[in-house]
């Protein structure tokens, strides 16, 4: 899932579908679930197909889906979480806010769903610091498309324009 997310920022055809998720200008839990259905299918396939091929039981798949939903709510919540050293490992709100910054490629960081493992390996991990404080409302969204539709139905058609 992390690599599908990463490639969604690197390839224009995937970005056009993924942009729906980045259209919000304020973090809130349900933003984690706001996705284009085609992009959701791509991420779901990338994350579960390898597991299905090695024989993942249906019950484990259901638990994984439930866990991913809860994690997406935590990751996009507008909550001041104090994680201590876990901020280097657990991919929740404080780190993921950096991913939703609207200016250029500065948001091409912290792609991980559950952990920052792949971000450390890809060199895309960042954390709050004096040089890079936690982004606030107004600093989030799609900077290159300030007139991106706000209505979800319109957003569903936007990738095809």
Nearest CA-CA partner of 156 in 19, 32, 29, 41: 19
- Number of domains the chain is built from: 1
Confirm if 6 and 124 have CB atoms less than 8 A apart: yes
Nearest CA-CA partner of 129 in 79, 92, 99, 94: 94
Q: What pLDDT digit, counting tens, does each position of 67-103 carry?
A: 999 999 999 998 888 899 999 999 999 899 999 999 8
Which pair of tokens denotes residue 99?
């991913």
User: Which residues are bridge partners to 5 per DSSP?
Assistant: none
CA angle (39 as vertex; 141, 145 as ends), nearest 5: 25
Q: Look at residue 153 and give its three-state secondary structure.
A: helix
Q: What pLDDT digit, counting tens, does each position of 13-43 carry?
A: 999 999 999 998 888 889 899 999 999 999 9
Compute the average pLDDT of residues 117-143: 88
Confidence of residue 156 (pLDDT cuts 50, 70, 90): very high
Q: Look at residue 90 and give its three-state secondary structure.
A: strand
DSSP class of residue 118 equals: H
Which pair of tokens denotes residue 70?
């809860």
Domain span holding position 65: 2-160
| Position 112 pLDDT exceeds 90 | yes
Q: What is the pLDDT of residue 58?
A: 87
Nearest CA-CA partner of 65 in 78, 52, 83, 53: 52
Return phi, psi of residue 21, to 5°.
Answer: -65, -30
Residues 6+ apart with CB under 8 A from 48: 56, 61, 64
């Amino acid at each position: 899932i992390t690599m599908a997310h990463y490639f969604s920022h690197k390839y224009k055809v995937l970005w056009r579908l993924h942009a729906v998720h980045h259209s919000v200008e304020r973090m809130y839990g349900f933003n984690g679930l706001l996705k284009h259905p085609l992009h959701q299918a791509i991420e779901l396939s990338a994350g579960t197909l390898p597991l299905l091929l090695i024989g993942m039981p249906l019950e484990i798949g259901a638990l994984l889906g439930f866990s991913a939903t809860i994690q997406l709510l935590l990751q996009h919540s507008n909550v001041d979480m104090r994680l201590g050293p876990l901020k280097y490992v657990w991919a929740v709100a404080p780190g993921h806010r950096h991913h939703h910054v609207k200016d250029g490629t500065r948001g091409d960081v912290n792609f991980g769903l559950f952990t920052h493992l792949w971000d450390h390996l890809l060199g895309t991990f960042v954390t709050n610091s004096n040089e890079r404080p936690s982004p606030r409302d107004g600093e989030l969204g799609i900077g290159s498309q300030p007139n991106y539709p706000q209505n979800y139905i319109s957003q569903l058609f936007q990738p095809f324009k």
